[in-house]
Amino acid sequence: MEKTLLIIKPGAIQRELIGEIITRFERKGLQLCGIKMIQLDDKILSEHYAHLSHLPFFGRIKRSMMACPVIVCCWAGADAVNVVRNMTGKTNGREAVAGTIRGDFSVSVQENIVHSSDSVENAKTELARFFRPDEILHFTTNNNNFIYAEDEQISNV
């Protein structure tokens, strides 16, 4: 099964939305394989947002992401990258549709509640950035028959 990164950003932490966000992914049927709270620093943010480093708002993004700890999560499931991206909604919270995390909890392009990997390749890179291999657990849940068809089963995620 595919794995992807989700970061619950400082705005969501401050607004006490952690449980709501995690619950949405669990109810969807994704499997939480890794989770931890960390304080981001300039080094990891400069690496993570290197593709934005030439933009005038780069410093503002880093300051926002260091405002308080974040929660990094590894979610697994069939087509997990696309499933998580669809659930998070458009980057700009004002444009995200109702029912998505950003559509329900954000009106900002920067303070948009979560970060999610945008491709399978980036998910692998980002997961390696925030998790050691032993921090992502591999196990089978008992509810696979009620989430996936027989040919979609999660096995040893």
Whether residue 142 has pLDDT greater than 90: no
- DSSP secondary-structure letter at 33? E
- Write the pLDDT tens digit of every residue in 46-95: 999 999 999 999 999 999 999 999 999 999 999 999 999 999 999 999 99
Residue 156 has pLDDT above 80, yes or no: no
Q: Which residue has the higher pLDDT, 5 or 152?
A: 5
Q: Which amino acid is at 133?
A: P
Name the β-bridge partners of 4. 75
- For the segment 130-149, the average pLDDT, to the nearest whole number, is 91
Q: DSSP string spanning 95-133?
A: TSPBTBHHHHH---SSS-SEEE-SSHHHHHHHHHHH--G
Please tell me the predicted confidence (pLDDT) of residue 126: 98
- Mean pLDDT over 37-52 rounds to 96
Give the whole-angstrom CA distance, residue 18 versus residue 130. Answer: 18
- 15: CATH: 3.30.70.141
Q: Is residue 140 part of a domain?
A: yes
In the chain the first and final C-alpha atoms are separated, in Å, by 6
Q: Measured between alpha carbons, how far is 64 from 88 in angstroms, rounded to an integer?
A: 19
Task: Evaluate whether residue 34 is within a structural domain.
Answer: yes
- Catalytic (active site) residue 51: no
In this prediction, what percent of the chain has a pLDDT beyond 70?
A: 97
- How many domains would you assign to the chain? 1
* pLDDT, position 155: 58
What tokens does 22 get? Answer: 């995690």
The pLDDT score that the predictor gives to residue 8 is 98
Residues 6+ away with beta carbon under 8 Å from 101: 21, 24, 87, 88, 89, 113, 114
Determine, yes or no, domain membership for 67.
yes
Residue 124 pLDDT exceeds 80: yes
Identified catalytic residue from 48, 51, 115, 138: 115
* Residue entry with tokens 């990258």: 81
Domain-located, residue 61: yes
The mean per-residue pLDDT over the stretch 6-32 comes to: 98
Using the predicted structure, report yes or no on whether residue 45 has a pLDDT greater than 80: yes
Vertex 46 angle, CA 91 and 62, to 5°: 55
157 belongs to a structural domain? no
Which domain does 101 fall in, by range?
Answer: 2-152
Phi-psi region of 117 (alpha: psi -120 to 50; beta: other; left: phi over 0): beta
Residue 132, in any domain of the structure: yes
**pLDDT value of residue 139:** 85
**Mean pLDDT computed over every residue of the chain:** 95
Average pLDDT over residues 99-110: 97
